[in-house]
């Protein structure tokens, strides 16, 4: 699938990306889909042990685990603090609201912390199906409110940026909406291949030419996170931020690839974000699949550099 009129980068290396995609598709074809396994704890254990399709996470010694106050008890966070701190990046991991951990991207987050001179606070929010909506969003909102109140004392700066990938981008957007006028405490948002309509956009519903998270897998994630909810109920703004009043939101940078089932989510959300009067950037990467920033690709290297530049600029003193 190619969206020629929307591509902003990656066309010059599309052959490399397509070749890598073919290998990913072949690898995934030999694995049972998540909805067939239908056992979130078992999938998490396989990811932790590196016995599934993904290697085991690599942890860095520089990260510190701590707990901050939350409405339902403490919220665990993982903090990466470089020698010089000019701002704080509130990071929310992906994983379909069901998988993933705050320590599953340590090398990436520690590298960002050092390069951008930002402290990174990654939220260990509660996961479905054990803790369905609104537990995860509640934890992320509580972390954001704690950071707004305490960043200056904790890190010596009140320059804040928020962001995440996939479900993490969704939760970052929901968090900003929940903050209302306080959302502007964040100087920017990096929203990477997020889901913004949990009743499914067209590209989610027909993902035959897409990669990594086919329609059945997305449906399974939603059933874990939003059990028993109808499609109409799933369009509530606190669940699907695409349907929210987006006025007064901070600047945001949206990133998505043309082979991502969440393509429409970013195209639609970026358009509504800008139409609401907010500063908006949209990066559409030729042939890139969901989660492409984790892969050894030219487009991934470029995107991570662009995110670094965006976050660095947003925490710079004005």
Q: What is the DSSP letter of 181?
A: G
- Specify the length of the chain in residues: 318
**Cα 26 to Cα 86: distance, rounded to the nearest angstrom:** 43
* SS3 (DSSP) at 148: helix
Other C-beta atoms lying within 10 Å of the C-beta of residue 270: 24
Q: How many CB atoms lie within 10 A of CB 24?
A: 18
Q: What are phi and psi of 266, to 5 degrees?
A: -75, -40
Q: Is 62 exposed, middle or buried (0-12, 13-18, 19+ CB in 10 A)?
A: middle
Which is it for strands 87-92 and 160-165: parallel, antiparallel or unpaired?
A: parallel
Q: Which of 166, 203, 240, 266 is catalytic?
A: 166
Active site residue 166: yes
Do residues 89 and 163 touch, judged by C-beta distance below 8 A? yes
**Three-point CA angle 196, 122, 49, nearest 5°:** 95
Active site residue 290: yes
Neighbours of 65 (CB within 10 A): 12
> Considering 138, 260, 264, 265, which one is annotated as catalytic?
260
Q: Which of 91, 93, 170, 290 is catalytic?
A: 290
Active-site annotation, residues: 166, 260, 290
């Amino acid at each position: 699938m190619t969206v020629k009129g929307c591509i902003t980068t990656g066309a010059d290396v599309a052959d490399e990306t397509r070749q890598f995609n073919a290998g990913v598709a072949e690898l995934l074809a030999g694995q049972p889909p998540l909805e067939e396994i239908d056992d979130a704890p078992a999938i998490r254990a396989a990811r932790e042990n590196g016995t599934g399709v993904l290697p085991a996470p690599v942890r860095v010694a520089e990260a510190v685990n701590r707990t901050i106050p939350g409405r339902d008890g403490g919220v665990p966070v993982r903090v990466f603090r470089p020698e010089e701190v000019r701002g704080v990046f509130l990071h929310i991991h992906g994983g379909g609201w069901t998988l993933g951990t705050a320590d599953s991207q340590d090398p990436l987050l520690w590298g960002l912390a050092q390069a951008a001179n930002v402290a990174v606070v990654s939220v260990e929010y509660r996961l479905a199906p054990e803790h369905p909506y609104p537990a995860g969003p509640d934890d992320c909102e509580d972390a954001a409110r704690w950071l707004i109140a305490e960043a200056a004392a904790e890190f010596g700066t009140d320059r804040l940026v928020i962001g995440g990938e996939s479900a993490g981008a969704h939760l970052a957007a929901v968090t900003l909406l929940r903050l209302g006028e306080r959302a502007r405490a964040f100087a920017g948002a990096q929203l990477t291949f997020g889901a913004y309509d949990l009743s499914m956009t067209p590209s989610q519903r027909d993902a035959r030419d897409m990669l990594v998270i086919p329609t059945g897998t997305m449906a399974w994630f939603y059933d874990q996170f939003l059990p028993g909810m109808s499609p109409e109920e799933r369009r509530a703004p606190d669940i699907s931020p695409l349907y929210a009043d987006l006025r007064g939101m901070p600047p945001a940078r949206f990133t998505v690839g043309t082979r991502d089932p969440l393509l429409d989510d970013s195209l639609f959300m970026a358009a509504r974000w800008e139409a609401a009067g907010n500063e908006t950037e949209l990066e559409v990467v030729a042939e890139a699949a969901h989660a492409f920033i984790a892969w050894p690709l030219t487009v991934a290297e470029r995107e991570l550099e662009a995110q670094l530049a965006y976050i660095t600029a947003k925490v710079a003193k004005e």
